Amino acid sequence: MTSRVLLVSPAVNASLRQARFDDDGSLDAGGTARARAAAGSLPSAARALASPSARCRETAEALGLDGVPVPELAGLAVGRWRGRTLEEVGAAEPAAVGRWLTDPGCAPHGGESLEDLCGRVARWLDGAGAVAGRTLAVVEPDVVRAAVVAALGLPAGVFWRLDVAPLSVTELSGRGGRWNLRVGRPPAGPEAD
């Protein structure tokens, strides 16, 4: 049995535009419009899920998906840095930011380390691999990065080298605990299935 997991990153909101650690803000008008314009472009799925954040739930809704919130797909918990920009945190805590960016096991913000995030998403991915058919999940960009790290067995430090654009689709397919990454997914249509 082959399982397919399509991870859709959320549309833009103020936090993404300002490079701010997520503060659970809603999509802005531009993000909502872009997500609505993309509605119908995704292939059908056996189940539709979402990160619990407002921007992921709202993106799923704008795409025409049910997007059942799944706690395991929550974005990285950044503790006291939540709502602040990386620039602000870097100015206030330069050594802590330096450790955070170079040590995947470090969580100086009092939240979750990258290793913890990657482990949590890997456990979810293991469960998703046991589900036949296609799973479509609107998830935070850091969850997409963690899923790619987990699926390909990459070291957690690679996390920072993966860029995830708004409303992009990352496809993983696998069976028997082995995942493949499909790069360059075509638009929806006969070739997409």
pLDDT in tens, 148-175: 999 999 999 999 999 999 999 999 998 8
pTM for the whole structure: 0.92
Spell out the SS3 assignment of the chain.
CCEEEEEECCCCEHHHHCCECCCCCCECHHHHHHHHHHCCCCCCCCEEEECCCHHHHHHHHHCCCCCEECHHHCCCCCHHHCCCEHHHHHHHCHHHHHHHHHCCCCCCCCCCCHHHHHHHHHHHHHHHCCCCEEEEEECCHHHHHHHHHHHHCCCHHHHHHCCCCCCCEEEEEEECCEEEEECCCCCCCHHHC
Cα separations (Å) of 164 from 121, 134, 144, 147?
Answer: 16, 21, 7, 12
pLDDT in tens, 103-127: 999 999 999 999 999 999 999 999 9
| pLDDT at residue 186, as a whole number | 52
Query: Which pLDDT belongs to residue 189?
Result: 43
What is the CA 106 to chain-centroid distance, rounded?
20
Does the pLDDT value for residue 128 go beyond 60?
yes
pLDDT averaged over the chain?
91
Q: How far is CA 173 from CA 1, 67, 136, 152, in A?
A: 10, 20, 12, 11
| Residue-level pLDDT at 168 | 93
Average pLDDT over residues 57-63: 96
Q: What is the pLDDT of residue 185?
A: 59
Q: How large a percentage of the chain has pLDDT more than 90?
A: 79
Nearest to 110 by CA among 143, 141, 84, 77: 77
CA distances from 32 to 36, 45, 92, 164 (A): 6, 22, 33, 18
